[in-house]
Amino acid sequence: MAAPATSAPSAPPAPVAPGDLSEGGSRGPPDLPPEPKQLPELIRLKRDGGRLSDVDIRGFVRAVVDGSAHGAQIGAMLMAIRLRGMDLEETVALTRALATSGQQLEWPEAWRSQLVDKHSTGGVGDKVSLVLAPALAACGCKVPMISGRGLGHTGGTLDKLESIPGFTVIQSPEQMQGLLEQVGCCIVGQSKKLVPADGILYEARDVTATVDSLPLITASILSKKVVESLSALVVDVKFGGAAVFPSQAQARELAEVLVGVGAGLGLRVAAALTAMNNPLGRSVGHSLEVEEALLCMDGAGPPDLRDLVTRLGGVLLWLSRQAETQDEGAARVAQTLDDGSARDRFERMLAGQGVDPGLARALCSGTPAQRRQLLPRAREQEELHAPGDGTVELVQALPLARVLHELGAGRSRAGEPLRPGVGAEVLVSVGQRLRRGMPWLRVHLDAPALSAAQRRALQEALVLSDRAPFAAPSPFAELVLPPPRTMSTHTQQ
């Protein structure tokens, strides 16, 4: 289903530098470099639709990090960017300035072509990273995955892993290198030393209604990947009812910017557009998603999860020249799920990141029932039943996630505690025929029971139709590839 490569928008001609008389004319003494603009002047320039130079952008980011930019000035600049936009070169410059605002990760030169990563814009039941990182490690890759926490209705990879007793997401660069040497992958949190400017701008965006700015989203995502010194990156851009972007066209717009800016930074980036109307897989909630990820690494589990893991992995192996084709790469990833080598890497990653080796071994070698005894569990379970006969058209992910959020599976602000055992198991598949009274959802909760409003919201999430049963489509809709010139050159950092 891969779409033809989508070229990034062409960059405008480079401006003539002061004193550059290469087009003719008399040669006088070179002009002195211009004085750096003050922040109010930079804000005014962008507010009025002007273009910020590399020097302007570096000056703004430097002021953000050293504290000389006031909160009001940061908010004003973010709003100016949100309303006026940035061209490709500006977005490349902003990404580079954010990436160089803190510590850089450096790896052995021999790893250069092996370093790959994946990023998702966030979804419901999205446990792909838990499976894909160890699967890629089993294929010979190095995966230094810097991940995030959940906020709002989307779950965070770090929160899911922290439901495993002892798992530690804070790792120093030296510890990360050790994990990559011994295991081939690590999944860690963003330290304050890495991309500190992005951390400040991210918080400011959240309270200034500038979260949906394409240049700001792009710079935030890619700056954290540039510091990883990657060979290739795939970004899973979600669209649909439970995604940031409701339509595939809106998701494609971000995908093309990500790919184009990546090319401008010398990073091979591909962007997959994947549907997020239904939850991914059958389980939603931290402990439950860890169980389902392990099931996928047993060579079993929901077909939509396996399909997305193998396709995204296949793209990365091909993009980093470790496979001749995407299909060959996908087959290699699938093999690691079927032969247990991905699960072995996952076990080693758990032990390397603080989990007791005995617990890691028991989790990875146990049956699903045994695994459930080893992870946090909710106090109660409640099943919902189909209100009538029909074929499952849709299990709406957003209302399901909102109810689980109310029950403690999500957070409304950074730092809030979570209930790792809270979640839900979808007991039916899209396209399946149901009879009235059949159980379709099992909710795991710490409260005594669902409220009437919660029960009603969940029942309304199940959409039935009269049509014949059908095979559920893959969530993988489209692939945006880097321009050919990026594919044919080696990554330069």
Residues with active-site annotation: 117-120, 157, 205, 220, 224-225
To the nearest 10 degrees (0 to 180), the angle between helices 341-352 and 128-138 is 110
Q: State the CB neighbour count (10 A cutoff) for residue 58.
A: 18
- Distance between CA 58 and CA 489 in Å, rounded? 27
Q: How many helices (H) and strands (E) does the chain have?
A: 19, 13
Helices (H), 85-147: 88-99, 128-138
How far is Cα of residue 214 from the mean position of the Cα atoms in its chain?
Answer: 15
- Distance between CA 169 and CA 147 in Å, rounded? 9
How far is Cα of residue 166 from the mean position of the Cα atoms in its chain?
Answer: 24
The answer to whether residues 55 and 15 touch, using CB atoms and an 8 Å cutoff, is no
Helices (H), 139-270: 157-162, 173-182, 196-207, 214-226, 248-264
- Distance between CA 197 and CA 65 in Å, rounded? 6
Helices (H), 18-113: 39-47, 54-66, 71-84, 88-99
- Distance between CA 267 and CA 255 in Å, rounded? 14
Residue 281: phi, psi to the nearest 5? 80, -160
Neighbour-count burial of 361, counting CB atoms closer than 10 A to its CB (0-12 exposed, 13-18 middle, 19+ buried)? middle
Tokens of 402: 């909102």
- Spell out the residues 6+ positions from residue 17 whose beta carbon is closer than 8 angstroms to its own: none
- Distance between CA 239 and CA 209 in Å, rounded? 20
- Distance between CA 386 and CA 441 in Å, rounded? 9
Tokens of 143: 């995966």
